[in-house]
Structure 1
Amino acid sequence: MKKLMAFAALATLVGFLGILGFRVPTLDLVMVLVLTLGLAGYDMVTSAKRDSE
């Protein structure tokens, strides 16, 4: 259940930031969005691995 909620939260974040990135497509903003989503994805993956051990 925790993994499902984490995936739903990440999907919501991707949706929100995706809209922002498409509406204001400046290079620096898109770079920050990609970095933010990368860190959030990394956190989700490492947290999921830690819960299964």
Structure 2
Amino acid sequence: MDRLMATLAFLVLLGFLGILGYFVPSPDLLGVIALTLGLAGFDMLRSAWRKKD
């Protein structure tokens, strides 16, 4: 269930930032969007897909 919710939340973030990047294609903004998605994806993979003790 945690993996499903984490994936859904990431997809919502991806959709929101994708729309923002599409309508405001500034190079600086696209860099911030890429950094944000990279950090959020890394955090999602580290927290939702790690082995529980």
Q: TM-score, normalised by structure 2?
A: 0.92
Partner residue, 1:42: 42
How many percent identity over aligned positions?
58
Higher fraction of helix = 1
Shift of 1:43: 0.2
**How many pairs were matched up?**
52
Unaligned runs of 5+ residues in structure 2 are none
Superposed structure 1 runs of 4+ greater than 2 Å apart: none
Unaligned runs of 5+ residues in structure 1 are none
